[in-house]
Each structure stands twice: as structure tokens, then as C-alpha cells.
Chain A
């Protein structure tokens, strides 16, 4: 398994890097949607992130169940624990599962183990991609080309953390907590607003517009491919540092305080921008808390809110499809008004 390109060595995609780091600190934020041109390093960033996260402690089962989380075990692990024998604990890397565009429902959700059924006549569940992605990332490229009912399914599972299988005579549920990362080129089709809303953060990824950044990207990538070991040694320190920060941020997350006044401001911002539903505020506050934790602050401040407002809100603004004003300007305007107030 080749080592992916180091996360900390990614040049020119600060917004994407920030969003992914936040999603790693607090998976409850709800996934990242990266809109942008092809070849801008989206999948590189996702794989790099997975490599930087500390390895998982897991039971040796198909779902990589968490030994510390007794409430969310797969049926097999539960049965084993109930009978007194605890399954062996192994160390696994954080899984990143690519969802192929042509995947059907059975490949994603899992289904009847065909061979077993035909040979022995018994029904057995064969886990799908969601099982593999448990406690990791599910990366969907070209999400705007994915079938609508599949996107619905994925978002439901991502929100509830559990995959409920009720098909082909099977009835079971298994843990499926993952961070959903979608990427796509909006020029090829747009996601429905209801689906957009269910992603936590959205980032617009553009190719750098200045030559210097492009040159830096090409040089870094070139170096990585031709002198891999040297490059990895150089970046190892940075990677370890980020890993530390993420672990520390995760540990501190519960202790970060949020002022009531700040909650009001968040609500006010969402009101003035006219976002539909309440997910906008929830996501904004959660993300701001994760950012504060990452930066080492004890409490969430307005600066955190304003920094994250574009990420959390720009894909939730209700807009007339023929409306020209960019969501970015609207958010900035609303923030300025609030600042003045």
C-alpha cells in the first residue's frame, strides 16, 4: 500500500484542508462537500488526511467495531461479548472507501451472500461498502452524477450512524459511522437543495490562479514522485505535529464553552441569510467549537463563527436558481452588518 501524499504538504488548498481537519476533529459536523474543477487535489487531500489520523483500535471483525463503544457493536461482536469471549483487538488504519459511480445498492449497503446462499441454502449477510467505511471516510467523486436514491441512502446512514438492512430476507443493523466527503464539478449538474443541506461544510476548490502556487504544487508533487523517501522524511515532523493537534482537539472538544450571546449571534446570522431549517446553525456552532478546540482556545469567539460562516452556510442559502448574486457576497455582507451591530 503506497503512502499517500502528505496532508501537510498540500499547497494552495487552505479552505479544503481546514474543512477536512475540522471534520476529522468532530465527525458530528456532518461531512464535507468539495465543489471544484478536476485535478485540484481533492482526493489527494482525503487520502492524506486518513493517513495522518492515528490508527484505530478495533475488534477484528468486518466492521472494525470500537472496543470502547459498547453501544455500537456489530451483531457478531455483541454475540461474542455476551457469550463471554471478547474478540481480539487489532490496530487498523483509518479506512477511506471510494464509492464507485456505478455502484448499485447492494454493493453499497451489502446484501445476500450469494455464493453461500446458493451452496448451502442459508441466508448470510455480505457486508458492503458502508461496512468497510465504518469509523473512517467515504469519498464520493462526482457526487452530482450519483443517483438520487443512492445519495438519499448515504445521507441517511451518515446522519444516523447505523446501516439498517431490510432486504432479500435479511434483517440486521450494523454500525456505519463515517465522514462523508463528496466532490464534484457544479458545471455538470447540481445537487438538489435538500441533499446539499445535509452536508455539513462545503468548500469551493479552485485551481490556483497565480503561477507561483502552481509551480509550488508541481514541484512538491514531482519531488514526491521522484525522491519519495527524502520527501516523506522531511514532512514527517509536520505530519506528526498535526496528528497531535487533532488528537488533543478531540480530547478537549467537550470542554469548550459557548456563550449564550454567541449562540444568539449564530442564530441571527442564519436568520438574516434566510437559511432553511435549523441544520445551518447547528453545523455552524459545532464547526466553530471544533475550530476553537483545534486552535487551543477555551471558548468559542465571534472570529471563529465568521471564519466558518462561508463553509457552513454557502450551500444552504435558499436561492432563486436564476439569481446571480454569489452566496459568498451575501454571507460577507451579513457578517459585516452583524459586526457593526
Chain B
């Protein structure tokens, strides 16, 4: 059976290169993603290369034990050669709670050599940035870069240097001792910094890691200076995956040759989309930059970030209109939500844990009895509970008479923590052409007002827009109002109305939020006139059927929702949507406070069960 899969389980050349580099310098750190079988192969090869077993930890086990996560800077365990630092593999790094991730990041600073395994389904859910920023290589085994030729060349070069070393039995001279400045190094630094700027990478750790990798690659190849190939490899491993902006426009002004002395490597290929933790909404097109970097014209297999080259539909920036929205709309919405608790789709373990013990963060709120392993031990309360019984126990347990205090399991008291129950408001905005014609400006205004309320309550907000053939998440859950406003301002309209896709995406976001212990609220802003189905096929009837199916699925999951009708005259389409969702229905007010108040007050009659 394995023979069937064997050809698929070979590591791509880039991964092989990464293994060799890590074997040579494990301290560089790695953030590893991709399908599980490939990851297993990768780690096995790494173990073979290093000649020692990797120290594997799981995210769940790390919850309370953060200080013991990484080996201390003391002596290494006896079974390992002292020259080989131990590598720790943290599985499920994307599930680490923020405080554990911060702790791991701090320790990774002092004792480098950490591999974080990213098991998340989407790039938005990756490991906390504080941890991943400190890891040099970001590698996704599922993606195959197009610069395979460069990697193959380098691998061949390394093999040859290895052979030469073994036959000659002498150490190859170290790369570049400082003292004499070398053109190769300077040029390499220039190229790397330039590339990191083009990719809009803000962290300075990235170019430093890239430089380290380039040096390592040159060292493996037995060369004294850094060559263009080394830089390309380093960029592919350290810079490309961190890119927040892909220089598309330049890729199209293609076919510029590398400069004659080959000192500037090509940037990471355009079809390796960024492991973005901040997807941007239609970023402004880059003016073709006039600089020395030669770019190979890569055919865009996957147009990364959306519509940069401009779509056929008329895209218009829609201004924001000031609109009257009832101040406590959210509060009322939350009230409806609570009447229908999460049904079968809920994950009781995680939600419950977040409420009381799991995260261990929150205000102290009394004590309770329990097993010391299942919570935070409260010493004072335990002692207070034990003290009155001491004389009795000393008489009874003679063999323990030597102890000052005799504690029994009954005395153990644990701290109770009241963690805040947060809300996540997920806006799902219809950005199609029909909505723009109608009331998108008004919708933006309404969203802004609701955002103000979110700010006061310190809720999290997320923003999803649907138009054209599908939905996209403009803003993953965040508490930052500035980001929300910026994402909203960049919202452009045009195209068909893929309502079903929007609802599906909103439901996924809600489930993700619930998984983290937050109460999700969905706010749909649409006119309900769907004309694109779930698969992206046009056709009104199919689209409406798909939308209904998705909406009923939302309702079955027990999500609290609100539908704000964007059409110029409150129409049946949006009202139907509200009924399928089991949501409140609110026609977008025209700015009259009374009309709004009556509309909201009249909710119970319109909201159907």
C-alpha cells in the first residue's frame, strides 16, 4: 500500500534544501506547514540528518508548563553529543494560547532551535506572529515553488562539495570572516533588503534570517562568496512566505535580465502566495519600480491578492454615508443570540474550558475544591482549610507526627477564574454591483456605527465581503478598530452576488470564533438578490436555492444573526433571507431616528423562529 503513495511522499527539492540547511545550523528555526504525511517524512529526514531524535511536544501539553517548554541553556542531555543542540518540535503551534506562544517566543530567543508545526487549515489561522517571526525558515510542503531549477543546481553543488570534502579530508575555508569587506556580501545584503521591502515585510528578523541562510548555502557549496543562487534560495525560504504584498506589477513588466554579474537574485515566484496573517483588500496597484532587481516574468498561476490587475467590472470606491443606527443594536442582538444557545455544532470542551480554567487568564473569583492537577492551586485557602484540623490529625496519624502540617486531599482548594466572555461580530457585506447601486454607502455607515459600539465593548470584529464569484475574508478577527476601518474603506463594489458563498464563509468564521470561546454574531448587509450559486455558476434560481440551504445550515447551528436590507425599497429577497437564517431583519434606515427605533422595536413580530 505504501508503494502506491511512495512517489507522492518524496520531498520537493526546496524541502530537501531546507533539511540540509537545518542539519547544518539547527538554530535557525522553522515554521513547517503542509499535509501530515509529508511533514512526517520531513521530520524523519531531519532526524536522520541530525543523527539524534527530535524532542516533540504537543500544544495541549504545553498549556501549564510553559517554562519547561524548551531545554534550558544548561548542559545537554547525556545521550546527545555536546556539539549538537537539541531541536524541539512543537506540534499544533497554531493552537498555542497567546500567552504560551509569547513564552515560547521568549525562550526561543535565548535557546534557539525550535520547529513549530503549523497544522492550521487556512493561512489566517497560523501560529501566533510573535512566535513565527522568530523562526527563520517558513516552509509549506504543499506548495511547489517554480524556482526548482535553482534549488536543483544548489543541491547538486552541495553534493559535490560534500564529496570533495570527504575525499580531500580537509575543512573547507569558512565563509567570509569579517575584517575585509567583500563586494559579494554587500551586494547580497542589498538584494535581500530590497526584496524584503518589495514584499512589504516589516520585521527586520526576516532579512537577517535570509542572510544567514544565504551564507549557509554558500558554505555548504564550498564557496567563499555568496552567489545569486544562494540569495534566491534564502529568499524562497525566508522572505517569500512572509510577503504581505506581492510585486505583481513588476512581474508583468517581465523579461528583464539579471544584471551581468548576477548579484541580484530573482524574487520569490509570484505563485507562492503569502502565508499572510493580514490579507489586504484590493491593495493599490504598484507602480513599476525602476530598480536593479531582475525579475523573471512569472506567469501568474494563482493571482495572489485580489484584483490587483483590475477586473472587468467597474470598480468603484464607495463613499461612506453617515447613517442613523440604534446605539444598542448590538446589545439587542446579543440578547437574541443568548436565547438560542449553540446547538449540536458546539464544541463543549473548548468553550467551557475557556470560560473557567483552560486559559488561566482572567479575574480571580473565589475558590473551589478539586484535584490539584486540574486547576491553579490556591495555597492560602488550602492552608486555611487544613489548619483547624491539625490537632486532630496529629493525634490520629502518628507516623506523620514529625510534620508541621498534615494536608489531606480534601483540603485542596483551587482558584476559580472568571474569564471574560468575548463577542466576535462578523460583518458579511454584499459588495456586488447591485448593492453598490443601492445602498452600499449607507451600509458602510451602518457598519461604522456598529464598530463604534464594538470598540466600547472591546469586541472583536471580522469583515467578509462577497462579490463576483465568491466570498473573501477582508479582515480576520481582530480587536483593532483601525484595521477594521481601513478594511472597510478599501471595500470596492462590482460583480455578481454570490450570497451562498458569503453565508458559508460567515458560518466558518463564526465556528472558528466559537472554537476560541467567543460568542459569534453575524451581521449580513445585503439586498438578498443572489444570482451566483455556491460553485460560482450564474443563475438566479440555483443561487437562491444555494443561499437558502446555507442559511438554514446557519440557523441549525444556532448562530445569532442580523440582516440589514440594502435595497432601495425594503424587498422580499432580504426578508426571505432573514427568515431562512432565523435572523432579525432590519431595513437600512434612511436617517430618521424614529423610523429606526420603531423598526428595531417591532423586531419580535418580524423575526420568525
A, B in one complex: yes
Binds A, one of B96-104, B153-161, B163-171: B96-104
A147 adjacent to chain B (CB < 8 Å):
yes
Binds B, one of A32-40, A73-81, A128-136, A303-311: A32-40
Residue of A nearest to B210 (CB): A218
Check A321 against B452 for contact (C-beta < 8 Å). yes
Question: How many Å from the CB of A183 to the closest CB on chain B?
Answer: 11
In the complex, which residues 138-152 of chain A have their Cβ closer than 8 Å to any Cβ of chain B? 141-142, 145, 147, 149
Check A207 against B483 for contact (C-beta < 8 Å). no
Known: A102-B102, A104-B360, A215-B193. A186 touches B448 (CB 8 A): no
Binds A, one of B428-436, B473-481, B600-608: B473-481
Measured CA separation A190–B482 after assembly (Å): 9
Known: A227-B178, A321-B452. A102 touches B361 (CB 8 A): yes
Measured CA separation A275–B455 after assembly (Å): 20
| Chain A residues whose C-beta falls within 8 Å of the C-beta of B186 in the assembled complex | 219
Measured CA separation A20–B194 after assembly (Å): 30
Check B194 against A102 for contact (C-beta < 8 Å). no
Check B407 against A118 for contact (C-beta < 8 Å). yes
Kindly supply a per-residue 1/0 record for chain A positions 193-233, scoring 1 wherever the CB is within 8 Å of any chain B CB and 0 otherwise. 00000000000001101010011011101110011001000
Which of B197, B205, B478 is the one whose CB lies under 8 Å from A188?
B478
Question: How many Å from the CB of A144 to the closest CB on chain B?
Answer: 8
| Chain B residues whose C-beta falls within 8 Å of the C-beta of A119 in the assembled complex | 404-405
Measured CA separation A100–B451 after assembly (Å): 31
| Chain A residues whose C-beta falls within 8 Å of the C-beta of B253 in the assembled complex | none
Measured CA separation A186–B133 after assembly (Å): 17
Which of B103, B203, B404, B482 is the one whose CB lies under 8 Å from A187?
B482
Which of A40, A101, A321 is the one whose CB lies under 8 Å from B204?
A40
A337 adjacent to chain B (CB < 8 Å):
no
Kindly supply a per-residue 1/0 record for chain A positions 167-200, scoring 1 wherever the CB is within 8 Å of any chain B CB and 0 otherwise. 1110000000000000000111110000000000
B262 adjacent to chain A (CB < 8 Å):
no
| Chain B residues whose C-beta falls within 8 Å of the C-beta of A332 in the assembled complex | none
B130 adjacent to chain A (CB < 8 Å):
yes
Check B202 against A40 for contact (C-beta < 8 Å). yes
A98 adjacent to chain B (CB < 8 Å):
yes
Measured CA separation A324–B480 after assembly (Å): 14
Which of B102, B380, B482 is the one whose CB lies under 8 Å from A100?
B102
Check A100 against B178 for contact (C-beta < 8 Å). no
Which of B97, B202, B407, B452 is the one whose CB lies under 8 Å from A207?
B202
Residue of A nearest to B291 (CB): A211
| Chain B residues whose C-beta falls within 8 Å of the C-beta of A271 in the assembled complex | none
Check A168 against B380 for contact (C-beta < 8 Å). yes
B141 adjacent to chain A (CB < 8 Å):
no
Check B405 against A118 for contact (C-beta < 8 Å). yes
In the complex, which residues 93-147 of chain A have their Cβ closer than 8 Å to any Cβ of chain B? 98, 100-102, 104-105, 111-112, 114, 117-121, 141-142, 145, 147
Q: Which applies to chain B's interface (DSSP): helix, strand, loop or mixed?
A: helix
Query: A101, A104, A147: which has the most chain B beta carbons within 10 Å?
Result: A101
Query: B194, B206, B405: which has the most chain A beta carbons within 10 Å?
Result: B405
Check A147 against B211 for contact (C-beta < 8 Å). no
Check B362 against A321 for contact (C-beta < 8 Å). no
| Chain A residues whose C-beta falls within 8 Å of the C-beta of B481 in the assembled complex | 190, 321-322
Measured CA separation A221–B194 after assembly (Å): 17
B192 adjacent to chain A (CB < 8 Å):
yes
Measured CA separation A61–B500 after assembly (Å): 67
| Chain A residues whose C-beta falls within 8 Å of the C-beta of B178 in the assembled complex | 223, 226-227, 230
Check B102 against A38 for contact (C-beta < 8 Å). no
| Chain B residues whose C-beta falls within 8 Å of the C-beta of A40 in the assembled complex | 202-204
Which of A38, A168, A211 is the one whose CB lies under 8 Å from B194?
A211
Check A114 against B379 for contact (C-beta < 8 Å). yes
Residue of A nearest to B448 (CB): A322
B304 adjacent to chain A (CB < 8 Å):
no
| Chain B residues whose C-beta falls within 8 Å of the C-beta of A187 in the assembled complex | 278, 478, 480, 482-483
| Chain A residues whose C-beta falls within 8 Å of the C-beta of B192 in the assembled complex | 218
A41 adjacent to chain B (CB < 8 Å):
yes
Question: How many Å from the CB of B86 to the closest CB on chain A?
Answer: 20
| Chain A residues whose C-beta falls within 8 Å of the C-beta of B205 in the assembled complex | 38-39
| Chain B residues whose C-beta falls within 8 Å of the C-beta of A188 in the assembled complex | 478-480
Residue of B nearest to A169 (CB): B380
Check A39 against B204 for contact (C-beta < 8 Å). yes
Check A142 against B452 for contact (C-beta < 8 Å). no
Which of B66, B129, B407, B451 is the one whose CB lies under 8 Å from A38?
B129
Known: A147-B362, A211-B193. A141 touches B102 (CB 8 A): yes
Check A218 against B479 for contact (C-beta < 8 Å). no
Residue of B nearest to A105 (CB): B364
Check B480 against A186 for contact (C-beta < 8 Å). yes
| Chain B residues whose C-beta falls within 8 Å of the C-beta of A217 in the assembled complex | 204
Question: How many Å from the CB of A207 to the closest CB on chain B?
Answer: 4
Check B102 against A142 for contact (C-beta < 8 Å). yes
Question: How many Å from the CB of B363 to the closest CB on chain A?
Answer: 6
B485 adjacent to chain A (CB < 8 Å):
yes
Question: How many Å from the CB of B349 to the closest CB on chain A?
Answer: 21
Question: How many Å from the CB of B571 to the closest CB on chain A?
Answer: 30
Kindly supply a per-residue 1/0 record for chain B positions 288-327, scoring 1 wherever the CB is within 8 Å of any chain A CB and 0 otherwise. 0000000000000000000000000000000000000000
| Chain A residues whose C-beta falls within 8 Å of the C-beta of B179 in the assembled complex | 227, 230
| Chain A residues whose C-beta falls within 8 Å of the C-beta of B193 in the assembled complex | 211, 214-215, 218
| Chain B residues whose C-beta falls within 8 Å of the C-beta of A41 in the assembled complex | 204
Question: How many Å from the CB of B188 to the closest CB on chain A?
Answer: 10
B338 adjacent to chain A (CB < 8 Å):
no
Check B407 against A215 for contact (C-beta < 8 Å). no
Measured CA separation A211–B377 after assembly (Å): 53
Check B197 against A147 for contact (C-beta < 8 Å). no
B208 adjacent to chain A (CB < 8 Å):
yes
B16 adjacent to chain A (CB < 8 Å):
no
| Chain B residues whose C-beta falls within 8 Å of the C-beta of A321 in the assembled complex | 451-452, 455, 481
Interface, chain A (partner B; CB < 8 A): 37-41, 98, 100-102, 104-105, 111-112, 114, 117-121, 141-142, 145, 147, 149, 167-169, 186-190, 206-207, 209, 211, 214-215, 217-219, 221-223, 226-227, 230, 321-322, 324
Q: Can you list 30 A-B contacts (CB < 8 A)?
A: A39-B202, A39-B203, A39-B204, A40-B203, A41-B204, A100-B103, A101-B103, A102-B100, A118-B379, A120-B404, A121-B383, A121-B404, A141-B102, A145-B102, A147-B362, A186-B482, A189-B478, A189-B480, A190-B480, A211-B193, A211-B194, A215-B190, A217-B204, A218-B208, A218-B211, A219-B189, A227-B177, A227-B178, A322-B448, A322-B485
Known: A147-B361, A189-B479, A221-B208. 5 other contacts (CB 8 A): A101-B102, A187-B483, A214-B196, A230-B179, A322-B452
Of all A-B residue pairs in the complex, the 3 with the closest CB atoms, nearest first, are A39-B203, A102-B99, A168-B380
